[in-house]
């Protein structure tokens, strides 16, 4: 059962960070992207939506691959939501690159497939800020951290990534930052 971005659990044995909602006996936990993706996958199968099924399988597979590559020694946990967001952004970037290649080859059928995949993947990402808002954020970070030259670009981009992960198009941010710092 969903309630404003939360999954409600009635089983107290579920082992995670719990908090009580009001004075009720309902245990709640913040819904992770994994749960949302799995739920969408099940719904897509029921609806027999082929593009969505295939794209969600691709997402689940990419997450599982990243989970496996992240495992080491004491770390048996999978990747966190922030890393999943980064993975989803990479998947979209790959699809956009493919679309550019397909445009050159005049393959409109494949462009439509890639665009459909982008639409499915995009629903899991936060709303991207527009150019104007991105510019305001960059100006604020520049002034707060006294960034003045292109040598400060790395620090600026690191700050942007940590504070606005997923909500800023980093390619656009890079262009704006470069113009502001030169």
Where do the domains of the chain lie, and which CATH numbers do they carry?
1-31 (no CATH), 33-122 (1.10.1510.10), 131-181 (1.10.10)
pLDDT in tens, the chain (182 residues): 333 343 333 333 333 433 433 433 333 345 688 999 999 999 999 999 999 999 999 999 999 999 988 887 677 778 888 889 889 989 999 999 999 999 999 999 999 999 999 999 999 988 888 999 999 999 999 999 988 888 989 999 999 888 887 788 888 899 999 998 87
**Predicted pLDDT at 29:** 44
**Predicted pLDDT at 31:** 67
Residue 73's CB is within 10 A of a number of other CB atoms, namely 5
The pTM (predicted TM-score) of the whole model is: 0.69
**Predicted pLDDT at 95:** 96
CA torsion, ordered 174, 111, 56, 119, to nearest 10 deg: 60
**Predicted pLDDT at 25:** 35
**Predicted pLDDT at 43:** 96
Question: Helix or strand or coil: residue 7?
Answer: strand
Q: Using alpha carbons, select from 93, 155, 92 the residue that is nearest to residue 124.
A: 92
Structure-token match 């770390």, residue found: 75
Q: Which secondary-structure segment (H or E) carries 145?
A: helix 131-145
Question: Helix or strand or coil: residue 73?
Answer: coil
């Amino acid at each position: 059962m969903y309630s404003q971005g939360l999954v409600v659990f009635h089983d107290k044995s579920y082992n995670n960070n719990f908090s009580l909602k009001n004075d009720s006996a309902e245990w709640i936990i913040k819904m992770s992207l994994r749960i949302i993706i799995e739920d969408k996958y099940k719904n897509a199968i029921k609806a027999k939506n082929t593009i969505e099924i295939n794209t969600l399988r691709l997402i689940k597979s990419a997450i599982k691959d990243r989970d496996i590559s992240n495992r080491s020694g004491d770390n048996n946990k999978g990747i966190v939501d922030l890393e999943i967001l980064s993975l989803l952004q990479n998947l979209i970037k790959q699809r956009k690159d493919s679309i550019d290649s397909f445009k050159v080859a005049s393959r409109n059928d494949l462009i439509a497939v890639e665009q459909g995949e982008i639409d499915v993947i995009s629903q899991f990402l936060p709303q991207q800020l527009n150019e104007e808002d991105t510019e305001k954020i960059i100006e604020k970070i520049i002034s707060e951290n006294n960034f003045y030259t292109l040598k400060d670009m790395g620090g600026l981009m690191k700050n942007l990534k940590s504070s606005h992960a997923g909500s800023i198009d980093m390619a656009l941010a890079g262009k704006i930052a470069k113009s502001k710092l030169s």
